[in-house]
Structure 1
């Protein structure tokens, strides 16, 4: 089965450390307002998922959401969540770690797209 969102080992490792500190988390792919287009990571109980948000999948047990409008633009790609050095979104929990999450992507093959439909 093709996954719509996956993560690098570095992301999984950082996410594990963040969960120890903050408890259950969730990702929401920012739409480009205050924090560009970074995937934002929040304590699960502090973020209200909207009625138009789409659940793309999970990184471990951490759900990953994106707004429906943005999903329409990205639905032909697999999102690869990575982590790099630097300061990211000021509201995302990884900021104090000196790291930021980053979304990379690749276009699904025709066979993969067919399996998603």
Structure 2
């Protein structure tokens, strides 16, 4: 159960990191820093949608469009960003087609790397703590 919570926290942290990196390097991709609650809401909405959409889209594409399976992460990232931007209380905005395309790529890349690199650090530490006890 603790491992589940650690993985969930890592996923939310990776979503936050992806959105922050996109905000820092892309013109037209912005987080409303004056509304911290909106940013938290945007991160949570994005993370939850991403975790729901990716498996669902994988199932749909396996059934109907096998050739698109490799792009599931990008598609689910784009859809999650789109929904997060459409929610008025979420503190995220994306202006222009280039910001949408590059924003999707940057957020997908950062979240993919973070969810790949961070779990071994935290979960390994947890396993070592259990073995030491």
Question: Shorter-chain TM-score: which interval?
Answer: 0.3 to 0.5
**Greater Rg over alpha carbons, structure:** 2
TM-score by length of 1: 0.33
TM-score by length of 2: 0.30
Whichever structure has more strand as a proportion of its residues is 1
